[in-house]
Amino acid sequence: MGRNLIILLAIVLFIAGPAAKVNGLPHSEYYLILSGIGLVILTTFLFKKKSS
């Protein structure tokens, strides 16, 4: 359950960065940094094998 929640949070972070930049929100560069962090989290959790 916790793993799925973290993956969902990473997806939201990954989408929020470009969306903030396109919509011209103030401080959108911070959203792009969060988007990069979301991408790293996604890569880590999706390609890491589940330990049994």
Which among 16, 3, 1, 2 is positioned nearest to 44, based on CA atoms? 3
Q: What is the pLDDT of residue 7?
A: 86
Q: What is the pLDDT of residue 21?
A: 85
Q: pTM for this one?
A: 0.74
Q: What is the pLDDT of residue 36?
A: 92
* CA 11 and chain centroid, separation: 5
What is the token pair recorded at 7?
Answer: 């993956």
